Amino acid sequence: MNELIKHAKELLEKGEVAAVIGYRQVSEKRTKPVIITEPEETRALVFNEYCLNNLAVYLTKARIKLLGRKNNKSFKLAITAKPCDVHSIVALIQENQIDRDKIHIISFNCHGVVKDFGFDFNGDNLSSKCITCETHKPLYYDKLLGEVKETPQARDSALERIKEIERMPHNERFEFFRSEFDKCIKCYACRAVCPLCYCQRCITDKTIPCWIETSSHQRGNFAWNVIRAFHLSGRCTGCGECDRVCPADIPLSLINRKMTIEANNLFSFVSGRSLETPTLVGSFNEKDNDELFM
Amino acid sequence: MKIGVFVCHCGENISSTVDCLRVADLCKSYSGVEYSVDYKYMCSDPGQKLIKEAIHKYDLDAIVVGSCSPHMHERTFRNAAVSAGINPFMVEIANLREHCSWVHDEIEASTRKAIELMRMAIEKVKRDKPLTKINVPVTKRVLVIGGGIAGIQAALDTANAGYEVVLVEKEPSIGGHMSQLSETFPTLDCSQCILTPRMVEVHQHPRIKLMTYSEVERVEGFIGNFKVTIRKKARHINEENCSGCGLCITKCPIKKKAYNSFEEDLAFRPAVYVPFPQAIPNIPVIDETVCTYYKTGKCGMCLKVCDREAIDFGQKDTIHVADVGAIIVATGYKLYNIEKKSEDSIYKGYGEYGYGKYRDILDGLQFERIASASGPTSGEIKRPSDGRVPKKLAFIQCVGSRDDSKGISYCSKICCMYTAKQAMLYRHKVHDGEAYIFYMDIRAGGKMYEEFVRRAIEEDKVKYIRGRVSRIYEENGKYIVKGEDTIAGMPVEIDADMVVLATAMIPQDDAGSLARKIGIPYDKYGFFNEAHPKLRPVESTTAGIFLAGACQSPKDIPESVSMASAAASKAIILFANDTLEREPVVAKVNEDICAGCFYCMKVCPFGAVEVKDVKDMNGIVYKEVAYINQGVCQGCGTCTATCLSKSIELAGFNNEEIFAEIAAL
Amino acid sequence: MDKQNWEPKIVAFVCNWCTYTGADLAGTSRLKYPANCKLIRVMCSGSIDPVFILKAFERGADGVLVSGCHPNDCHYNAGNFHARRRWDFFHKLLDFIGIEKGRLQFSWISASEGKKFADVITKVTEDIKAMGQFTSYKKMNSEFTVDFPADLAELEEPVLQESFDKETVK
Amino acid sequence: MRYGYFPGCSLTSSAKEYDISLRKVTDKLGITFEEINDWSCCGATSAHVTNHKLSAALAMRNIMLAGQQGLDNIIAPCAACYNRLIISQNEVKNHSGIRKETEDLLSVKFEKDLKIINILELFLKSGLNKITEKRKRELSGVKAACYYGCLLVRPAAITKFDDAEQPESMEKIVEATGAYAVDWNYKTECCGAAHSISRRDIVIDLSKKIIDDAIAHGANVLVVACPMCHTNLDMRQRAMKRKYPEHKNFPVLYLTELIGLSLGMDEKDLGIDLHYSNFKYADTLMNNSAKG
Amino acid sequence: MTSDILKDAKKLQTSFIPSGNFKESFKEKEHDKNISIQIHERSVEDEITERTFQDVSLCYQCGKCSAGCPVRYYMDIAPNKVVRLIQLGYYEEALNSDTPWLCAGCLACSVRCPKEFDLARFMDAVREIALEKGVEIKQVNILKFHNAFLDQIKNHGRSYEAGLVADYKMKTLDLFQDVDSAPGMFLKGKLILLPHNIKNRKEIKRIFKKTSGKN
């Protein structure tokens, strides 16, 4: 980890960046995001299997953006990002939320993280996104750290769950999701933690006209969760943060995962994998699937 | 808000299956409805008067009319509302005729549906906002793309009306396909004789800026305000110095390296050439691909002989920008090539007719050149292979046309006529020759057309055989044409000396890419789409862009000319005002909540979305938001549905109004 | 609710240039089709938001049809292409969530396809009739104090009126 | 590459020499086959003209057997067999009704399509340079009219192999042997095919036209790739002579025989002596070549 | 046959216009004449569509098929006319025609058809239907040849030419045809005298049995 600290310190000392967004250890199996502006504070920085948060979410926050602007000059921001977090950063660049030139990506050779704080790092406790992860080395970075290590093997239980749901008849499926969504308390933690939910005012906050009923009843919950999933279709990079933070344990990333699979099937597109490929939403191909239409 | 409801009987068209009285009565009970009435003919003068009086009497803010489709009378009722002092966009139409009374039999069901339709309209009108039309300035100059007969006509008409014209032609000369024709049906007058004066007129017209050997690169902007980028290809001849003496052409040592495309590859041309003697402008072009100078750096014969120093080997393409208010597209057609181009082409070619393997199998334009007095044979009908006069000629119609398997399902429309004409010309020139025409149907709709075909049969003894030809092959210098006379029910084999294929008219190769450049839709073949097949045949769906001639569908000369004049008059109508009124159905961004993802910019088909910087008190940009140019926006609303934060609303169809309609179900 | 007399409630979101005009043509050709479907006119199929569909279901619709111009025929050049991508997705999502394909149908109907319009409406209506009421969605509506009428036939019109005033449109 | 081999009935009897020469030539070129175990007749014309279900089932039985043998392609040297196999497979693939019936009939599920390869594709694929390299005999005097017949290239939408009207692949092979391929008109005209026995009159007329056109375009040998065509063009020449007395014996070779000759093989080894027209190929053709 | 249609032209007009349904009037005609062909509920046209997966109305009678047909000169009705007869409901005439039986299946028509109508496949269906309906086949030798050929496959799994020729000659009693080639065949050792039986003949028999049933 000395390398990370050294690098971050150097960046701040040379004034190349205004701040470093990173992780610090809070207990043995728990880390927290930290935003460092002073070189000496960099000693707190860590990177390990407990760095769960997708720090890309901070990049779009106004408070953080302000850090990049001092005395009417703009500075870079450095961010420590797992290879999967880099996908989110790529998506944000493509959606014009951040400038590639204005961020300094410190990334790592990653071999997976735990599914939640407090667990031991092994195959059983591997975060579900790491099971199918194909980018153990980041696709874009300015500094690459860490050594290459084997990722533990684990069963792709999420995919099995999707398959299982797909086997249910429609009414059962509906009932399943209705009861799952019914648990929603509209805390919007999923929205807060999602790096791609950067809208200043979310669709659900728009009340004239009212797009999604905000009170926490079945119908409103259903609409919210469907539209949340739809808005992320073809954009979600699969970081799985929404799932982790949901206090009601709604299987949000299951739907996201399903839509990612569909995006790949229908349009051979996975979000956040390339800066050059046009985004799925906002582009089209004359030869897109036309089967749906009579 | 006070709403007036008017239910029209449309004679009995609506009232026969919808109980109009009940509808009107019920509407009275809805909140906000101040006045509700039914009447026999709302669109009639008394009907409109009724509306106007009701607006005054009950002090109405908005009206709902239950009548025919808004595409029919929305404008009528809006005008009535305006004359009574209501904003025209406070009028909603419920389509009780086309969508209800005419399509349902049962009175109860259709009355119920009518009530619901009315309720939806009432709920919508409650949320309607007064809108004002948008005014945009108009640049009174027109761009004509294509210098064939359609383009020439359109340019002349607009210029004669007093407006400036930029005429862009990709070939070195204007004139198009018409200049290649020998004689024209049904009058048999010489094509060039009637065309050349027009070409000269274009050249000399003070208001027409002629740009030959040029292509449109880019079109930006919108109706009244297009900005066009044109690439003028290097001729390697200084146009100002050149006097058109033609000495360079005669002295050019490269005589037989390039086919003459004007002669449909039946002859050669030098490396420096004008396409044909009457070319406008009469300025040659040096073909870099064959010229020795560009290969070896030597020769320069033309340079030596030109005493006006017009030869400029170093000339480069130049880019010109023009501001125009309207565009007339007249890019014309090309002929189907029976040679197979590639596996993935939709045009499969005719292997059974010998793929251009045999030199005496010609297409329609090649025969025109052979029959033309200025053509490679000086008008004598001769076989390209050996120069013999063919004594037996077979014409085959519908080659490519009406053939799903070869890529074209449509009828090319003109082939029946020009084949009859060509057979006639042949019989006039070769008195002892026999002419056979294989056809499927004769489509001779037009003034004097049927008579013309009959003349070919009755006076010139052209033999018409109904049946498609299956194969052509060579045997002892003759071409065996295997057909079936489907009327006699007998197989037919003709040993022709020459075969002329009436190949289909297809769009130019670059029609699709041009359409994308200027932003107009085209059909699956590549013909440009008109705004309405019947009522707006010369307008494209993009405002301010008009169509003329065969780029829209196969056409003969009179049709192309009349379409060109129609397109010109559309442009002139546009220029009659200094500013342009546009429907205010445009999208608008709420800048406060726009997140600046610019998905709207990606989906906008018209490039109406711009980036706008939002600055803080210190004048520092703190966020970028989308801004929609009201002049460019066409009001499709694709951005509104794409916008994730719902920061865009489409005036006239905003989300609140649509939600109200859904809620009224 | 009387099962025997139940008639499905269907909403169609159609574009102004093709499908709406195609529907007009069906009218002028006097083609007959069931009266269950009500059209909501928008400018382009590209401007139809998925939330509209959910709203329709929330308002008791048993089925929804979305229809626009054929690919390459769009009045706005490309609106329907964007729409197609959107619906490909949304339809997959709804299917996964448990809403059958027949509940939300799609078609391309040009201005000249009056016959096709009548056929599509007939087919959609028959499909929805075969599937029956969309009870699973309507059940979610039942939490409300004002039970929004699912069936027009049940009500006298004034009641309907009343319910409208209470359930203000948001 | 592992090739499955479906000889077809003709190659075991009336077109023995085709089988013999094919095996000899491929052996020399290093192509090996695996014959489909217990193959049965493809159904030929007789099945599909009278009963389509039977036709599909008979053809698919062989494709099924090849699949069970672990093959992913089948070489069918007989043009008629090739056509039957490829059309049946296409039909079964595209029409679920027929697929279901045929699957039930053969109690099997068709999952993977096999690539059906005709004789021309085989040589084009295995590399023409191999033939050129191993050429031993001078054939420059051979002016071959390549006769495809109807079933080798049709329908092009399904065979996806050469142009249906102006095919050129056989010419390429013939030119690789050092022989000259003439351009002529009857490349894909029908010889009468299955009417060989039942309507001999038709076959004689049609075949005569084909031979005449070849002669008219300067050919001195017809090259075919179909046993049925060969039967009609070769065996029927005697009857042809009876009807058209001016007819002269004209040599008709299988493509494989021509390749065999160019590779320096003996006429007898290639089974050329089994032809009916009793033509002295080596004498006429080779001597021509020697003379230049 | 062709001239029959021309003769019937007047009848065609009168029967077509008032009833508005040509097939209906044809049914009546069939009934009156009390002929052997039964018009079932499904018309021959429907049957053909079902078997060939293509609609007969696709054909616009350009005659390109007939123009390129190698056996056109031996046919009684042009191939395109057979389609025409089916289009108009003259099923009897179509099924009785020689043309489908003379079709050599060379596919020249199918690959050249401007409407992508597979005429060869259509002819197959017409033959199948004619056989199923028990129409008397005039090109009897051709049918007998096919039957003889199929018998060989049925019994042996492969065609066996000595047996085929013998069987065919028995069936046609045309003993002297091919005298010039058969001895040659024997001499060259090409006509094998014993059938080559495949192992799984049971399966072949089963295929024949299962597919022989009427649709």
Q: Which of B120, B541, B640 is facing C38, going by the closest CB pair?
A: B120
Mean pLDDT (chain B) is 91
Q: Specify the range with the lowest mean pLDDT, choosing from A9-18, B337-346, D90-99.
A: B337-346
- The pLDDT tens digits for B106-139 are 888 888 889 889 988 998 898 888 888 888 889 9
**E177 compared with B328, residue with greater pLDDT:** B328
**Do the chains contact at A212 and C51, CB–CB below 8 Å?**
yes
Q: Give D220-230 pLDDT, tens digit per residue.
A: 899 999 988 88
Which of C87, C120, C141 has its CB closest to that of A294?
C120
Q: What is the mean pLDDT of residues B229-257?
A: 91
Nearest residue of B to residue A230 by CA position? B644
Answer whether C123 sits within 8 Å of A266, measured CB to CB.
no
Q: What is the pLDDT of residue C21?
A: 86
Express each pLDDT in E103-135 by its tens digit.
Answer: 988 999 999 999 999 999 999 999 999 998 888
E7 in contact with B at a CB cutoff of 8 Å? no
Interface D-E, measured as beta-carbon pairs within 8 A, has a size of: 174
Mark yes or no for CB contact E67/B492 under 8 Å. Answer: yes
Least Cα separation, residue E25 to chain B (angstroms): 25
**To the nearest whole angstrom, how far is the Cα of B159 from the nearest Cα of chain C?**
30
- b/e for B229-242, b at 16 or more Cβ within 10 A? ebbbbbbbbeeeeb
Q: Is pLDDT at B166 greater than 80 in this prediction?
A: yes
Name which of A163, A284, A285, A291 to mutate to probe chain C: the one with the most chain C Cβ atoms within 10 A of its Cβ: A284
What's the CATH architecture for C10-169? 3-Layer(aba) Sandwich (3.40)
Q: Which two tokens stand for residue B69?
A: 């489709």
Distance from CA of B589 to the nearest CA of E (A): 51
Give the pLDDT score at B11.
87
Label residue B177 by pLDDT band (50, 70, 90): very high
In chain A, residues with a C-beta closer than 8 Å to the C-beta of C96 are: 165-166, 173, 255, 258-259
All residues of chain A having their beta carbon less than 8 Å from the beta carbon of residue B597 are 95-97, 198
The residues on B that touch A, with CB distances below 8 Å, are: 592-599, 602-603, 618, 620, 624, 642, 644-647, 655-656, 659-660
| Degrees, nearest 5: CA angle B90-B91-B96 | 150
How far B329 CA sits from the closest chain E CA (Å)? Answer: 32
Strand order in the sheet with D115-117: D33-35, D3-5, D73-75, D115-117
Q: Is E208 on the interface with D (CB under 8 A)?
A: yes
Q: Do chains C and E touch (3 or more CB pairs under 8 A)?
A: no
Q: What is the pLDDT of residues E145-162, one digit of tens each?
A: 888 888 888 888 888 777
Min Cα distance A157 → chain B (Å) is 31
State pLDDT tens for residues B5-56.
999 998 888 988 998 888 888 888 888 888 999 998 988 899 999 999 999 9
Per-residue model confidence (pLDDT) at position E152 = 86
- pLDDT of E178: 56
Percent of chain A with pLDDT over 90: 7
- Is there an interface between C and D (3+ Cβ pairs < 8 A)? no
β-strand pairing of B471-475 with B478-485: antiparallel
Q: Is the pLDDT of residue E19 over 60?
A: no
Choose the closest CB to B31 out of C24, C52, C165.
C165
Strands A30-36, C63-68: parallel, antiparallel or unpaired by DSSP? unpaired
Contacting residues of C for A177, CB less than 8 Å apart: 97-98
From residue A151, give the alpha-carbon distance in Å to each of A116, A123, A129, A253. 17, 8, 12, 21
List of domains in chain D: 2-119 (1.20.1050.140), 136-291 (3.40.50.11810)
From the CA of E37, how many Å to the nearest CA of chain D? 18
Q: Which residues of chain E make contact with D151, given a CB cutoff of 8 A?
A: 106-107
The residues spanned by each domain of chain C are 10-169
CB–CB contact B662 C26 (8 Å) = no
Return mean pLDDT, chain C: 80
% residues pLDDT > 70 (chain B): 99
The 8-class DSSP code of residue D235 comes to I
Q: Which of D163, D187, D215, D217 to mutate to test the interface with B (most CBs of B within 10 A)?
A: D163
> For strand B62-67 and strand B208-211, is the pairing parallel, antiparallel, or unpaired?
unpaired
Q: Is the pLDDT of residue A50 over 50?
A: yes
Cβ distance of B109 and C35 shorter than 8 Å: yes
Q: What number of H helices and E strands is found in chain C? A: 6, 4
Amino acid (1-letter code) at residue E86: I
- Lowest mean pLDDT of A65-79, D153-167, E184-198, name the range: E184-198
Tell me, yes or no, if B454 comes closer than 8 A to chain D by beta carbon: no
Q: Is E89 helix (H, G, I), strand (E, B) or coil?
A: coil
Is the CB of B351 less than 8 angstroms away from the CB of D213?
no
Q: State how far the Cα of B357 lies from the Cα of B336, in Å rounded to an integer.
A: 16
Using alpha carbons, list the distances in angstroms from residue C69 to B189, C45, C72, C78, C80.
44, 8, 8, 10, 7
Per residue in E129-139, pLDDT (tens digit) is 999 888 888 88
Question: Chains touching chain C at 3 or more Cβ pairs under 8 angstroms?
Answer: A, B
D137/B628 Cα distance (integer angstroms)? 78
Tell me whether residues B653 and C43 touch, CB distance under 8 A. Answer: yes
Asked whether the whole model's pTM tops 0.95, one would answer no
- DSSP-based three-state secondary structure for E74: helix
E211 contacts chain D (CB < 8 A):
yes
CB contact under 8 A, A218 and C140: yes
Residues of A whose CB is below 8 A from C169: 209
Nearest CB to B474; choose among D163, D166, D185: D185
Interchain CB distance below 8 Å, D163 and B340: yes
Q: Which residues of C touch B71 (CB under 8 A)?
A: 20-21, 24
**pLDDT for residue B197 is more than 90:** yes
What confidence tier does E39 reach under pLDDT thresholds 50, 70, 90? Answer: very low
Is the pLDDT reported for residue A21 higher than 80? Answer: yes
What's the confidence (pLDDT) of residue A125?
A: 85
The answer to whether the CB atoms of D150 and E102 lie below 8 A apart is no
Region of B267 (left: φ > 0; alpha: ψ -120 to 50; beta: rest) is beta
B464, A90, A290, A273: which is closest to C83 by C-alpha?
A290
Most E CBs within 10 A among D17, D45, D46, D233, hence the mutation to make, goes to D46
pLDDT digits (tens, 9 = 90+) for A160-180: 888 988 888 888 898 898 888
The gap from C-alpha B354 to its chain's centroid, in whole angstroms, comes to: 33
C40–B662 CB contact, under 8 Å:
yes
Q: Kindly tell me whether chain A and chain D come into contact, counting contact as 3+ Cβ pairs under 8 Å.
A: no
The per-residue b/e assignment along C34-69, b for 16 or more CB within 10 angstroms, e otherwise, is bbbbbbbbbbbbbbbbbbbbbbbbbbbbbbbbbbbb
Residue A65, phi then psi, degrees to nearest 5? -60, -35
- What pLDDT is attached to residue A133? 86
Position of tokens 């998506």?
A91
- ipTM for the predicted complex comes to 0.67
- CB count, 10 Å around CB of D250? 21
- Domains plus CATH for chain B? 3-127 (3.40.50), 141-233+317-332+508-574 (3.50.50.60), 247-305 (no CATH), 336-506 (3.50.50.60), 583-664 (3.30.70.20)
Residue C98 Cα, gap to closest chain B Cα (Å): 23
Tell me which chain D residues have a C-beta less than 8 angstroms from the C-beta of E153. 40-41, 43, 47, 58
Residue E203's pLDDT band, with cuts at 50, 70 and 90, is confident
* CA-wise closest residue to B361 among B469, B503, B502, B498: B498
Q: Which residues of A touch B647 (CB under 8 A)?
A: 201
C-beta atoms of E64 and B404 within 8 A: no
Q: CB of B235 within 8 A of CB of B279? A: no
Which pLDDT belongs to residue E2? 44
Chains B and D touch (3+ CB pairs under 8 A): yes
Write down the pLDDT at residue E41.
Answer: 56
Name the residue in chain D with its Cα closest to that of E204. D58
Using the Cβ of E1 and the Cβ atoms of chain B, whether some distance falls under 8 Å is answered with no
Across the interface, whether the CB atoms of A96 and B598 are under 8 A apart is answered yes
Determine the 3-state secondary structure of A46 from DSSP: strand
- Chain B contact probe: residue of A93, A94, A95, A230 with most B CBs at under 10 A: A95
Neighbouring chains to D with at least 3 Cβ pairs closer than 8 Å = B, E
**CB–CB of C57/C104 below 8 Å?**
no
Rounded alpha-carbon distances, angstroms, from residue C130 to A168, A293, C133, D253:
20, 20, 9, 66
Q: Is the pLDDT at E11 greater than 50, yes or no?
A: no
pLDDT band at E189 (very low <50, low <70, confident <90, very high): low
